[in-house]
Each structure stands twice: as structure tokens, then as C-alpha cells.
Amino acid sequence: MLREGVMPNMFTYSSVLRACDGLLSLTQLHCSIIKAGLESDVFVRSALIDIYSKLGELQNALGVFNEMVTGDLVVWNSIIGGFAQNSDGDEALNLYKRMKRAGFPPDQSTLTSVLRACTGLALLELGRQVHVHVIKFDQDLILNNALLDMYCKCGSLKDANFVFTRMLEKDVISWSTMIAGLAQNGFSREALNLFQSMKDYGAKPNYITILGVLFACSHAGLVEDGWHYFQSMKKLFGIDPGREHYGCIIDLLGRAGKLDRAIKLIHEMGFEPDAVTWRALLGACRVHRNVDLAIFAAKQILKLDPEDAGTYILLSNIYANSQRWDEVAEVRRTMKAKGVRKEPGCSWIEVNKKIHAFILGDNSHPQIDEINSHLNQLIHRLMGLGYVPDTNFVLQDLEGEQSEDSLRYHSEKLAIVFGMISMSRGKTIRIRKNIRICGDCHIFAKLLTKMEQRTIVIRDPIRYHHFQDGVCSCGDYW
DNA sequence: GTAGGGTTAG
């Protein structure tokens, strides 16, 4: 077109922007757009924002957005969607507020992105408020799917079920979301029952559906069922097992203590194992106390992901426990050289529409004294009932947090106690964490739900823990 | 008559 001397217009650019596969071609196009004086066209702007976001270039996307000469609903939706999809829920929600102040009423696309932001931040109460707006757009499939996922990932399966049963139209994403949601929250049986309903209904599972099914089997210790689905997924559903399916099966075998079979499978799977594969094996080592294999798995992880602070700490704890001080020093040197530092544990809890953050070692919460004194009383009472702080960290990634005294102030304990002080007994205490829950906080939460007749839900970066009446939905494996 | 935004795993 350019060679033949035909001038592109806004129609051309908004179409061709979608085809950008790298920053270089996008930058060139963006320059031509500016030269042609077309950068203020709303179609071109939304296309630019969208493609910058899809390439992960949020600052560039925001740059285009902030040249607020012209704008419409789609331009707002592009930038909000961009942040929501790049796991920056906070910024997505800020922009959503700005959009409302600017007088644009949200539509289905806006609400879908806002729900995704709530999902990432585990903001159940805000998600519920968005749900009220969703009702205005009756039966939008994508929006309902986002709503479903929000409730699952915020740990409210009751609400998720409510939405799911009322959806007139369900696609493979609706079914997959619900199956994975049940499984992740520890309701494996229900997940597998739903998978059966899906097949009865005549819906065709895809790659992701099967992942949810295998995840459910592994978490419920259903080794035979899981192995069966894995073996026959190609024949039954026409889906070749991918690396992630192997990851679930390694988790399944490892959980059942079949570490030899898990290793054999890693060698046979026909994919290069990635960090996720080795982490599955490492998780099994932790539960089944296999130190030598854990060292091996940790080293493999660090080869593939040299920035993984948690794994360095775990490795160093293992060496320290066997008095291998040279190796402890070596791990520490490597971390220092690479500038790797473990981020401090942080827990968030939403109370009365406000989000409270608790960070290990940070005493800035206005009610911190009340929380600490309440926590000490609770620990004292729990010890009377047989609670012993779990200070065995050999196969965990705790750093400088190992003494009984500092365990006491782990962020999730503070958040739990704050929830108990500020919410009535019938309300579920819901917490999101940035790092995995430690063994001691896990026992603490279990015993507390028994002693105090409370329900606690903690979402860590990978798993969900529903504590009730002294037991956890994860079955003590995480 | 031609064009832009949203959902599932990891």
C-alpha cells in the first residue's frame, strides 16, 4: 500500500495495529500515526493502548491514554483492561474510579475488567458491589464468567454456585472456571461431580478443563482416578497432555508419596521440565521429608529461575540443618551477588470496605497494640489446648522468622486476629497473602477455628485454605 | 461500506 503511494487513514491504522508482534513494529507504526496527525482518533487511540498493553508496555499505554484530547468509553475500557490483564488491579481500579468521575457509565467490558481486578486482589466485597451492576446486563456470557471466577478466587463458592446455576448460557470457560475453582478451594469431589455433569450436558472439555480435573484428583489424593484421566485424555477428549498436565500428575504422585514414579515421569514426559515441574516435586519432598531429593529439585529450580528467593532460603535451611555451613554460605553469597531478597510476608484483609495490610515487622497499624495483646491471649489459650509452635523449618522457605517469638508475628496471624476483633463471629475471615503460609500459621488457624467457632479462608499465591472446625480444606498438603 | 475494548490454567 505504501509502495503504491496510497496514504493510510485511521481505518487502516486501527486495523493494522492489531497485527503488531513486537515493540519495534509498534513504535514504527506509532510514529507514522503521529506524522499523519491521526493520534487523536479514538479508534486509533484505543487500538494503540490495547496493543501496548498486550505487549506489556503499560507505561506507553498510559502515555497514549493520558494525552486526553479525545476519549470515549472504549478508550477507557482499553486502558482499564490493560492494567487488569497485566495483574495491576490497583491501577485498574483507580482508573475505573476516574472513569466514573469523568461521567462515563461502565458497560460489560468495563465491568469484566473491574471484576478481574477484584479477582487478582481478592476483593470480595468490592466484587459484590460490582455484581449489582452486572445484573443490569442480563446474561452476558463473558461478564458472567468473570463474575464466576471472581467469586471462586475470592473463596466464596456459595456465591459462585449461585451465579453458575443461574447462567442460562454456559460455555467451556464457565465449566472450566467452576471446576478449577472448586478444586483450588479444596472441594475436589464437587469438582469431579461437576465434570461429570459437564459431560452429561454434552459440553466438550478443553486443555484447561482437564487441568482442573487433574488438579482436583491430585488434591483429593485420588491417584487412580487422576492417572486414569491423564492416561486416557487423548482417547476420551482428543487432548494431548501438555507440560502442565504432567505437572499435575507429578504433584499427584508426589502427594501420594510415589516419588520414584514422579521422577520417572519427569524423565519420560518428552518436555524439558520447567521450574513449575520441579516445584511440584519439591512440594512432595517437603511433605514426605526427603531432604536429598529436595536439594536436587531446588537446584533444578534455581537453574531455571535464578531469582526465586524462596527456593534459596529453603536450600539454605536444609544445609543449615545438616551443619553444612560452607554450602549455607555459598547459597547466601549467590543470593547477594544476584541481589535476590525475599519479600516480607504480607497479608491483606478487607473489613468494612477498607483494606488493611499487615507486613511482618511493621507495627504501623493503628490497632496494633490491641491486636498483639489479643494474639498473645489466644496463643496462651491455644497452648493450654495442646498447641505447640511449629519451629521445624528445614523444608520451608522461612528466613529470619524462625524463632518461636517471631513466628508469633507472622502477617497472617495479625490479619486473623484483626478480623476476629473487627468482625462478628458469623462472618468468614478472608485473607490474601503474598507468600505461602507456613506450617505454624496453618496449625494456628486450624486450632483457632475449632476453639473460636470461626471460619477462616486464606488465599496464598498458589493454594486456598478453608479452615473450619479444626480442619483445612487443603488436607495439610501445600 | 471500511475500525477499537472483556472470560478459564500457570
Q: Is the CB of A141 under 7 A from strand B?
A: yes
List strand B contacts in A 67-96 (CB < 7 A): 72-75, 77-78, 81, 84-85
Distance CA A396, CA A313 (A): 8
Q: What is the dihedral of CA A306, A265, A182, A208, to 10 degrees?
A: 80
Distance CA A364, CA A125 (A): 24
List strand B contacts in A 323-362 (CB < 7 A): none
Residues of chain A with pLDDT under 70: 394, 400-403
Which residue shows C-alpha cell 483429593?
A220
Ramachandran class of A139: left when φ > 0, alpha when ψ lies in -120 to 50, beta otherwise = left
Exposed, middle or buried, A88 (CB in 10 Å: 0-12/13-18/19+)? middle
Distance CA A349, CA A278 (A): 32
List strand B contacts in A 168-187 (CB < 7 A): 171-174, 176-177, 180, 184
Q: Is the CB of A18 under 7 A from strand B?
A: yes
Instruction: Determine the protein residue whose CA lies at the shortest distance from the C1' of B1.
Output: A11
* Torsion sign across C-alpha atoms A36, A41, A47, A52: positive
Q: A76: which nucleotide lies closest, measuring CA to C1'?
A: B5
Question: Quick check: is A2 in a domain?
Answer: no
Question: Quick check: is A186 in a domain?
Answer: no
Helix (H, G, I), strand (E, B) or coil at A243: helix
Q: Which of strand B's nucleotides are less than 7 A from any protein C-beta?
A: 2-10
Q: Across the strands, what pairs with A355?
A: A350
Question: Quick check: is A148 in a domain?
Answer: no
Could you tell me the residue range of the domain that residue A379 belongs to? 346-472
Instruction: Tell me the three cell numbers of residue A381.
Output: 489459650
Question: Quick check: is A315 in a domain?
Answer: no
Q: Is the CB of A399 under 7 A from strand B?
A: no
Q: Is the CB of A275 under 7 A from strand B?
A: no
Q: A42: which nucleotide lies closest, measuring CA to C1'?
A: B4
Ramachandran class of A186: left when φ > 0, alpha when ψ lies in -120 to 50, beta otherwise = left
Q: A173: which nucleotide lies closest, measuring CA to C1'?
A: B8
Evaluate whether A116 touches A153 at the Cβ level (below 8 Å): no
Question: Quick check: is A230 in a domain?
Answer: no
What is the pLDDT at residue A345?
Answer: 87
Helix (H) or strand (E) holding A357: strand A354-359
Q: How far is the CA of A24 from the C1' of B5 (A)?
A: 23
Question: Quick check: is A104 in a domain?
Answer: no
Question: Quick check: is A131 in a domain?
Answer: no
What is the pLDDT at residue A68?
Answer: 74
Q: How far is the CA of A36 from the C1' of B10 (A)?
A: 41
What is the pLDDT at residue A400?
Answer: 61
Q: How far is the CA of A84 from the C1' of B2 (A)?
A: 30
Q: How far is the CA of A343 from the C1' of B10 (A)?
A: 21
Instruction: Tell me the three cell numbers of residue A275.
Output: 521450574
Count: domains in chain A? 1
Q: What is the DSSP letter of A122?
A: T
Cβ neighbour number for residue A103 with a 10 Å cutoff: 6
Q: How far is the CA of A373 from the C1' of B10 (A)?
A: 40
- Tell me the HSE value of A450 on the side-chain side, using a 13 A CA sphere: 13
Question: Quick check: is A407 in a domain?
Answer: yes
C-alpha dist (Å) from residue A107 to A79, A146, A173, A301:
14, 14, 21, 43
Q: Is the CB of A290 under 7 A from strand B?
A: no
Q: Is the CB of A36 under 7 A from strand B?
A: no
Angle between helices A141-153 and A157-166 (to 10 degrees): 160
